Amino acid sequence: MKAVGLVTEYNPFHNGHLYHLQTAKRLTQADVVVVVMSGNFTQRGEPTIVDKWTRAQEALANGADLVVELPLFDAVQPGQRFATGALRLLNDLQVAAVVFGAEHPAWDFERLVAAEASFAAPAFTDYRATYATQFNAALVQQTGVSLVDPNDILAFSYFKARAEHKWSMELYPIQRRGSGYHDQSLQTTLASASAIRQAVQDRTDIDDVVPAQTAQDLANLSVIPNWQALYPLLRNHLIQAPVTELRHIYLMSEGLEYRMKEAASRELTFDGFLHAVKTKRYTFARLLRLCLYTVLEATQTEVLNAQPYHHVLGFTAPGRAYLHALKKTVQYPLITKVDADKKATLMNLDYRAGKLYQLFTPVEQDLKHAPIIKLSSKKH
């Protein structure tokens, strides 16, 4: 069986994702669509609008055959580690190709990767600008290409990860369709995920911009997860924990523990806290990730030493057949049910993240939760 891989967040699953999925299958003539999807927190460190099981169900209802969770230690990361973690799983799952959207799919991403190899990356130490800004300035100077769109950055990251690890899957950047990444308009049926999330919050009709399963899930949504709801936990931990403990948190560096502790002591809202901590050196995405790792008390050692695994969230009949065919050849553990041992060891960070997300839902996120099985699939 030939498989195509997709790297996703589906926050939530919308018409653009459906187009991506259908195009990937048609382009590669794959028998099976394998989706590696972030869990309950996005790459930026924000809680997803609905939990990972709901989003996996949406994917399976719209043509995915196998949905595997991208562990939090790879999911809540900048583009390069996010891309590397996702492709590592897809390579182990023996996909023949990976298809992803880009604003400029015709760019020679391999040339950009080769150009980046000549940079003196450790020299990017200008504290008046973020690493990303300094990196892009160097790339423009070297190639004339400005790598600023999130989808193009991820495309670059996929090509770089494949080159560094010598993986053999084909990479297919395709033209991203519809609204821009940050566009808040619902004037097209291919609206952005951020526009859809805002519409849900505003109680605006979204039936034209999402598939039926997503529309139903969001119509039943009673609580919209957000950082303001998590802020009391973050604030209390920052106030109570000694600085000597905070400095071991993953991504905590350059005295941020002092800055965050001070901001937490006086800011009563998360937005106020975030702006009090923000400097030109750090993006909001970096700070959001740090906030999540702080609440989870995830240390540098824990995240950097984490080992990959495949947590199966759901499958169709073809997906189950594909899993069965390769289960004896995959390198990483294949987990279909989280038991007490996995909860305490391999999956402990994701288990803690699941418990944190249960502030927004009564659904158990990991322990003894069996994969979603969809044996009859609608053809797209």
**Which residue, chain included where needed, has tokens 């695994």?**
309
279 marked as binding residue? no
Q: 18 labelled as ligand-binding?
A: yes
Q: Tell me if 41 is assigned to a ligand binding site.
A: no
9 is in an annotated binding site: yes
Tokens of 149: 């769109």
> What 3-state class would DSSP assign to 277?
helix
Residue 8 assigned ligand-binding role = yes
Paired tokens of 142: 């070297």
Rg of the chain in Å (alpha carbons): 20
Q: Residue 88: which residues within 8 A CB-CB, separation 6 or more?
A: 74, 161, 165, 308
Structure tokens at 364: 């158990």
Residue 7 marked as a ligand binder: yes
DSSP assignment string, 140-187: HHHHS----SHHHHHHHHHHHHHHHHT---EEEEEE--SS-TT----S
Report whether 362 belongs to an annotated binding site.
no
- Report the amino acid identity of residue 44: R
Q: Apex CA 342: angle with CA 297 and CA 325, to 5°? A: 130
Asked if residue 10 belongs to a known ligand binding site, the reply is yes
309 in a known ligand binding site: no
Q: Is 20 annotated as a binding residue?
A: yes
Q: Is the dihedral of CA 302, 303, 309, 312 positive or negative?
A: positive
* 3-state class (DSSP) for residue 86: helix
Annotated binding-site residue? 176: yes
Which region, left, alpha or beta, applies to residue 324 given φ > 0 means left and ψ of -120 to 50 means alpha? Answer: alpha
Asked if residue 275 belongs to a known ligand binding site, the reply is: no
Q: Of 326, 342, 343, 336, nearest to 372 (Cα)?
A: 336
12 labelled ligand-binding: yes
Task: Please tell me whether 236 is known to bind a ligand.
Answer: no
Is 147 assigned to a binding site?
Answer: no
What residues does 6 pair with on adjacent strands? 35
What is the rounded distance in angstroms from the CA atom of residue 158 to the CA atom of residue 83?
5
Q: Is 136 annotated as a binding residue?
A: no
Those residues with Cβ within 8 angstroms of residue 356's Cβ, 6 or more apart along the chain or in another chain: 40, 230, 233, 295, 296
List, as residue ranges, the binding site for ATP: 7-20, 101, 151, 176
List, as residue ranges, the binding site: 7-20, 101, 151, 176
